[in-house]
Amino acid sequence: MAADGLTYTIVDTANMSTAEIYGKVLCDLAEKHKEIVGLSADLAKSTKMGQFAATFPDRFFNAGIAEQNMFGMAAGLAKAGLTPFVSTFAVFASLRAAEQVRTDICYQKLNVKIIATHAGTSFGQAGTTHHCTEDLAVMRSFANMVVIAPADGIETANAVMAAYEHKGPVYIRINRGFDPFLYEKSDYGFQIGKAVQLKDGTDITIIACGAAAYNAYHAAGILEKEDKLSVRVINMHTIKPIDEEAILKAVMETRRIVTFEDHNIVGGLGSAVAEVIVKSGKGCAFETVGIPDQYAIIGLPEDLQNYYGFDQNKIIEKVRQIMGKDFEQTEDWEDEV
Amino acid sequence: MPLTQQEIQQFTAKACQLRKDAIDTVYWAGGGHIGGSLSFTEIMILLYYKYARIDPKNPGWDDRDRIVVSKGHAGVGYAPILADKGYFPKELLKEFNHTGSILGMHLDGNKVPGVDVSTGSLGHGLPITVGLGIGARLQGKSWLTYCVLGDGECDEGSVWEAAMAAAHYKVTNIITIVDRNRMMIDGPTEEVMRLEPFADKWKAFGWIVKEVDGHDFNQLADAIEYTQKEDKAPVVIIAHTIKGKCVDFMEDKYEWHYGGLDSEKVELAKACIEKHYCEL
């Protein structure tokens, strides 16, 4: 249960898109906390900030299609003692107004919450102008920023509540449309910076975030049943600060790690995990799967998940491929430091 | 006349002193944005010594007026004012730009007492000011936000995004002053990227425009007092100034946007400033 006593279940949120769940949670928080204000840049409707706007019209500010000013205004509102929630598409939050987010908000450690929708390739049909496969890389390079990629709507509810409780800037990237539910209810102990182990295993660890987490969990079930593999699955919802302990435990205990994310393989979850592994001095078989440093093709999100290798079938294939590789296992770690 | 004769005398003496302090600071810093630090002196004096409700002993006072120096590169002109007001010891100016100093070219609000907003990247100050203004209004607070813009930074689209928003949301608890010194790094504003008809642009965005001589305390004070009372639309005060004001070899020279000074030039610059004030 979050500090606010708000809990959400699959029943309350049935038939709601991930962004709609965000909109509902924001309204619930705003009801209790009068200092919450909302901003959007002509995307209140699409980001579901519109629910807040309709409920609290005096506390909502549409910046028009002017993201730089929107984030500057959010900085000013935070400086005045308010808690701004800002929503637009991820590509505009992380790229169009990147400097305002960095300089006005992160540099000054301001209490601004950015809930960016249509992340990754979840708006696949819209093409590269509306895909966002760079935000995790950009946002995690901003000092003071917390970066979260929730796996589903329930986790989004948790992330939004946790973002409110956290004093300082937070970036949450969510998908357009509906995410299949990984969780049935919100009281599973979500904590910023603490990964959720969805399944224990000893042969290989899958580390995933966002839409890939659900796919990885179900892929692991099939691999266990059909291939008799013991697959650990970690939902790394917080990309920064990343849960180093969970990664190092996986290195030591499973010796094989593969990451899946709806993001460029440069700079996102895979890179963040790699940094931890390399720093540890412990070797392990390691692969990153995501958009392979290119602009994604156009298509339905579920097709793109397949195309870029992070739907359930492709995750199964990738794990089989890694397990089929010759990998020398040694019990003696000390000589590898 | 909004100011008394005594105030004019006091502020004039202050302008002489602060301009010389800016010259010294450039010397200690090994270089600085001196041109624009000499053009905004009178504007800053009226904010810090006359109009803004601030308490240097309590820089974080909740009900203080906020001052956003959007032309954040004018650090060598801004820091001596904060030191003179007592936000930090004047001795610190001697460490300006030095490794580990709290004072760098663009002042950091998290480090320097008295700096409300960390600026330096141009086009950021007015959006933040609009947010501060809305934030104060929403909470029923009476504090005002003063914003000092450079004219060159008005090339930035974000300034006009904020101008549009301020008019749309009728943000009238902000006082926006443009230091119109007509010079930027690469040349005169009208050659690098034409701003004129500058006043008409603001008017077209729904603002009331007041144009004044930015070195004339009474004209500036009149405009500030008008703006404090105006509640129908935001007001911009276009303060016509001279870049490098009071230093003969710098006046109106865009080359002095940024520069260094050796001890000989420091003395020459200070002599110019003193001569200027003796002749008044």
| Residue numbers of B between 40 and 99 with CB closer than 8 Å to A | 62, 66
Tell me the pairing of strands A231-235 and A196-199.
Answer: antiparallel
- Answer whether residue A229 shows pLDDT above 70: yes
Domain at B5-278, CATH from 3.40.50.2300, 2.40.30.40, 3.90.1150.10, 3.40.50.970: 3.40.50.970
pLDDT at B68: 98
Show me where the domains of chain A are located: 18-173, 196-324
Could you tell me where the beta strands, DSSP code E, fall in chain B? 66-69, 145-150, 174-180, 208-213, 235-240
Tell me the pairing of strands A170-173 and A146-148.
Answer: parallel
Task: Give the whole-angstrom CA distance, residue B14 versus residue B41.
Answer: 9
pTM for this one? Answer: 0.95
Which positions in chain B touch A108 (Cβ < 8 Å)?
109-110, 117-118
Task: Give the whole-angstrom CA distance, residue B134 versus residue A329.
Answer: 62
pLDDT in tens, A35-44: 999 999 999 9
- CA distances to A95, A117, A123, A140, B62 from A129, rounded to whole Å, are 11, 14, 10, 21, 42
pLDDT at B1: 83
Contact at CB, A69 and B129, closer than 8 angstroms: no
* Nearest neighbour of B124 by CB, restricted to A74, A77, A104: A104
Mean pLDDT computed over A246-259? 97
pLDDT in tens, A54-80: 999 999 999 999 999 999 999 999 999
Contact at CB, A77 and B66, closer than 8 angstroms: no
Cα nearest neighbour of B65 on chain A: A80
Mean pLDDT computed over A264-269? 98
Task: Write the ipTM.
Answer: 0.95
Of the pLDDT bands very low, low, confident and very high (cuts 50, 70, 90), residue A283 is confident
Nearest to B126 by CA among B192, B196, B72, B194: B72
- Answer whether residue A335 shows pLDDT above 70: no
Beta carbons of B174 and B232 less than 8 angstroms apart: no
pLDDT at A13: 85
Task: Give the whole-angstrom CA distance, residue B144 versus residue B191.
Answer: 35
Flag whether residue A221 sits within 8 Å of chain B, measured between CB atoms.
Answer: no
Listed in sequence order, the residues at least 6 apart from B265 whose beta carbon sits closer than 8 Å to its beta carbon are none
CATH superfamily of A18-173: Thiamin diphosphate (ThDP)-binding fold, Pyr/PP domains (3.40.50.970)
Nearest to A39 by CA among B184, B149, B130: B130
- Answer whether residue B114 shows pLDDT above 70: yes
| Residue numbers of B between 120 and 139 with CB closer than 8 Å to A | 120-121, 123-124, 126-136, 138-139
Which positions in chain A touch B165 (Cβ < 8 Å)?
63-64, 66, 69, 73
- Answer whether residue B116 shows pLDDT above 60: yes
CA angle B73, B74, B80 (to 5 degrees): 135
DSSP A290: E
Show me where the domains of chain B are located: 5-278
Of the pLDDT bands very low, low, confident and very high (cuts 50, 70, 90), residue A327 is low
What percent of chain B shows pLDDT beyond 70?
Answer: 100
User: How many CA within 13 A on the CB side of residue A36?
Assistant: 24
Query: Is A196-324 assigned to CATH 3.40.50.920?
Result: yes
pLDDT at B278: 82
Listed in sequence order, the residues at least 6 apart from B5 whose beta carbon sits closer than 8 Å to its beta carbon are none
**One fold for both A18-173 and A196-324?**
yes
Nearest to B207 by CA among B178, B165, B236, B237: B236
| Residue numbers of B between 147 and 176 with CB closer than 8 Å to A | 157-158, 161-162, 164-165, 168-169
pLDDT at B102: 97
pLDDT in tens, B171-206: 999 999 999 999 999 999 999 999 999 999 999 999
Listed in sequence order, the residues at least 6 apart from B143 whose beta carbon sits closer than 8 Å to its beta carbon are B53, B63, B64, B65, B66, B136, B173
| Residue type at B274 in one-letter notation | E
pLDDT in tens, B197-232: 999 999 999 999 999 999 999 999 999 999 999 999
pLDDT at B230: 98
Contact at CB, B128 and A73, closer than 8 angstroms: yes
pLDDT at A325: 77
Task: Give the whole-angstrom CA distance, residue A283 versus residue A276.
Answer: 11
Best to test chain B binding among A33, A36, A61, A79 (most B CBs inside 10 Å): A79
